[in-house]
Amino acid sequence: MKAFCDLNINIDRRFAGDRIRIEKIEGDEIIIHDFEIRESKISKENDPTWKGERKDCLYLQLEINGQKRVLWGSYRFMIDQIKQIFRDDLPFKTKIVNEHGYVFK
């Protein structure tokens, strides 16, 4: 019987690095290398604005202090901003600040 490692199966992971919480990088200069917007896995039944649909979830491949990290969450304003970014503009430098919701600056 073959071992799994003998099957030559590769994983293509789009995002590398450990997850980082947004509070840890707030106000710091970061580099955004890649992003993806997916449907959130979490519904917001307790959210009074929830209308039964799932929300978007933003996944960011970022670099801070020379280390690649991953950030994800349902950051509505950041999602609106990053939808306006062309892939040709990656990577770019930015800061994330909380202005009654997180935004790129």
Please list the rounded mean pLDDT of every run of 10 residues in the chain (105 residues): 87 87 97 92 62 80 96 94 94 96 94
Domains identified in the chain, total number: 1
Predicted model pTM:
0.77
Task: Give the residue numbers spanning the domain of 52.
Answer: 13-104
Domain-embedded: residue 60: yes
Q: Is residue 6 part of a domain?
A: no
pLDDT at position 89 is 94
Look at the block and give the residue holding tokens 């509070």. 23
Tell me how far apart the alpha carbons of residues 91 and 42 are, in angstroms, rounded to a whole number.
Answer: 29
Count CA atoms within 13 Å of residue 72 on its CB side: 18
pLDDT at 5: 84
The pLDDT assigned to 60 comes to 97
pLDDT for 17: 94
Res 51: pLDDT: 63
Amino acid at 95: K
